[in-house]
Structure 1
Amino acid sequence: MSEIVLEVTGIDGFYGSSQVLFGMALEVGKGQTLALLGRNGAGKSSTMKAIAGILSPRSGSIRLAGREIRGLPSHMVARAGVGFVPEDRQIFSDLSVQDNLEIAAKKGADGTCEWNIERVYKMLPLLAQLKGRMGGQLSGGEQQLLTIGRALMGNPGLLLLDEPSEGLAPIMVQKIGDLIETLRQLGTTIVLAEQNLHFCLGLADSAVVIDRGSAVFSGTIEDLRANDDVKRRYLSV
């Protein structure tokens, strides 16, 4: 594997007294896409929130480009270079598309500014057409594109996408898939949490399957494709 951008080792996560992550571990190399797969409730979103600093693990390690970020507040994790696209999108419904993007603008952790509003609009021309529309007036797919565009405005070194295809019409799922593929070709490092294995097969380089808060499989996407037992037991395929 290439240079490791994200290394998660042995994290235990809790909501109050309820433990949801049990020694969770994964790693992703620079420019690679990792699919984090599992059924609903398996712990995918909790893992993403732990990496993003929203859920603070009680133990273990989360290293970003060699730097320990476990325990940092979420705004410091973002400054360190993590862009998070949450499952519920969390756009500002009373702000325009343009304002939603501009409010997220910042340089990358290394001071670079590869992404600006002009480049986001070029990448996502649908948003350019809707730039004056309020966020609350967008369809679910349009909101998902906006959330990804907003994350890119922060010039992340690592992009976390939590269930980006969930609940979208097939044509929007295809648009999201095409966008992820384009970002891959640009060398973006991505962790993609999904229930939909077929959505990930053509996009990911490697995969981690999670069940009940623990990793039960880790390997290449080809290894997972060939492992009928794991797919049947944990992914209902």
Structure 2
Amino acid sequence: MTAPHPNATPVPVDTVLNVQGIDACYGSSQVLFNMCLNVRRGETLALLGRNGAGKSTTMKSIAGVVAARSGSIELLGKQVRGRAPHAIARLGIGFVPEDRQIFPDLTVEDNLTIAIKPSADGQTEWTLQRVYDMLPLLQPLRHRLGGQLSGGEQQMLTVGRALMGNPSVLLLDEPSEGLAPIMVQKIGALIQTLRARGTTIVLAEQNLQFCLGLADRAVVIDKGKDVFCGSIAELNQNEDIKHRYLSV
């Protein structure tokens, strides 16, 4: 069992994901420094920061795509740091990467069905039909190749693919990035619906305004370190934090 990190913060009893003191590097360049966050069951946590602050690296470290070289990452009380990405996915992490990574030569339906797996405790709450019900724009496109979709349609497909794995935590990395305003609204509505259904979400974003009606709490990251943790309302009222770490 991994010993608690010396700077570990108290963890609520309903915590699903607990990240304490992780460091991460790309080669010899360190990107994360003692990064901490925790997410409670049914909560949407916004991970906010400027471009290059370390949001995507935090997400990738949780998903095992980037190896955290120290610290602790616990999912439902189980240590996942050091495990392979596919093993972490099987334990309950659903990762929607910033660059989507759909299969362009497979149909929409094949992109979804290739990701089918039960949850870590054997449940199959998310089925193909339920994903189509949640994402109605995908069903008419089910025979279209992934590479023929618009950016917004690909983003919806990537979220649907993650849901097909019945995750305990859904990691959404910059889901509104580069999308037309109408698709940004649709993504926001989707996150709101998932939140209302009790899905546990970590939402990495640069845009605080996008997160205001979606997130319960926020962690602000700057230069690979968490510099604020509190409710989304507290963050919105903190002009100093917004000016220092979120203004462009």
Residue 99 of structure 1 corresponds to: 110
Conserved? CA contact 1:2–1:30, under 8 Å: no
What is the match of residue 113 of structure 1?
124
Runs of 4+ off more than 3 Å: none
* Structure 1 counterpart of 2:128, one-letter code: I
Report the TM-score when normalising by structure 2: 0.95
1:174: how far off?
0.4
Residue 2 of structure 1 and its aligned partner are, at CA, apart by: 6.0
Counterparts in 2 of 1:190 and 1:132: CA distance versus 1, 3 Å: same
1:205 to 216, 224, 243: 216
Q: Give unmatched runs, 5+ long, in structure 2.
A: 1-11
RMSD of aligned residue pairs (Cα, Å)? 0.8
TM-score, structure 1 as length reference: 0.99
- Size of the aligned set, in residue pairs, is 237
- For 1:15, the equivalent position in structure 2 comes to 26
Determine which of 53, 75, 94 is the counterpart of 1:64.
75
Q: Hey, what's the Cα distance between the residues in 1 that align with 2:115 and 2:163? A: 9
Aligned-partner Cα distance in 2 for 1:57–1:161: 19
Segments of structure 1 that go 5 or more residues without pairing to the other structure are none
Residues 1:144 and 2:134 aligned together: no
Q: How does 1:214-233 map to 2 (within 5 A)?
A: 214-233=225-244
Q: What CA distance in whole angstroms lies between the structure 2 residues aligned with 1:45 and 1:185?
A: 25
Does 2:134 match 1:123? yes
Matched residue, 1:153? 164
Name the % identity: 70
SS in 2 for 1:126: coil
Give the distance between the partners of 1:131 and 1:21, measured in 2 at CA: 39
Q: 1:208, 1:216 within 8 Å by CA — same for their partners in 2? A: yes
Aligned partners of 1:223, 1:73: CA distance in 2, in Å? Answer: 36
C-alpha displacement of 1:7: 0.6
